[in-house]
Structure 1
Amino acid sequence: MNCEMCGVSSDKLIKVKISGAILNVCPQCAKFGEPVEEKKLNKISENVTIKFPEKKINVVTYKKPFKKPVTTKKPVHRENVEELDVVEDYADLIKAKREEMNMTQDELAKKIFERKNVLSNIERGELLPDIATARKLEKVLNIKLLEKNE
């Protein structure tokens, strides 16, 4: 038979416990572990019983919440709707007022909840602000950007 640790063929192998494992090793490798008696192994294997705790499974019932029926909004026909346009020199007005208030583009963008790139494009005149953004700018900068369309 061969030693399970070094692989040397030997007629006399000894059962040794090394790092928690029981191995058949030659007398030279036996010094690395504790010798295990054959009777002790049988005694341990006879006395070991494995018990699994009984698991109680909790059944949870799920009730779907009551859904309100979906209603769609009917389009409202307004005859006297104000149509608004952004003034022509909006870019210069916004930039001048922002600089007058000693604000950076980042600060103003955060106040109106827009990205800095959007604000810089608006200030350069490359992007026309929508009505909602123009209203936010009017409120923060205290300027007039929207006018009635005639």
Structure 2
Amino acid sequence: MQCEMCGETIRGAPKLIRVEGAELQVCAKCGKFGTEVQQPRRTDMLRPGAPRPAPGSRAPASSAPAQRKRDMFDYMEGEIVEDYAERVRNARMEKGISQKDLALQLMVRELLIKKIEKGELIPEEEVRKKLEKVLGIKLVDIVAGDDEKKAQAKITQTLGDLTIIRKAKK
């Protein structure tokens, strides 16, 4: 298991700590950066003052399906290429830019550039766009299904295309 703060492999039992409201499983070294939580927080607890179901009774099924929280991949135009790390490294080296200089141009941390180039971290949409612009590369392949959908949407006729509107003479 990896430490959720520093990324190192945890030797022994992980510590559960709370840092600014987030609960993380961390190694012994990172345990000092938060307050230790004795028991994991239960998310299924009822709100105070809400009616409690009788013991043995089943909770009513909700009529609306639970909506999935959107993540960064829902906002992406396509899929990120598998060799994104190599493309970023090669383009940066061709331009003769150091990782530190690239980080300064993009206004991100140098560690972020290092992790992207190692393939340890997939760049978020904002960082990806900046990388593409500064390095002059493409990191996203448009999914074929998306192109087909867009092409079909342009070709599909509507009711307005089929009807002929004639104005009545007055």
TM-score if structure 1 supplies the norm length? 0.44
Which protein, 1 or 2, shows the higher relative CO under an 8 Å CA cutoff with sep ≥ 6? Answer: 1
Which of these two proteins has the greater Rg computed from alpha carbons?
Answer: 1
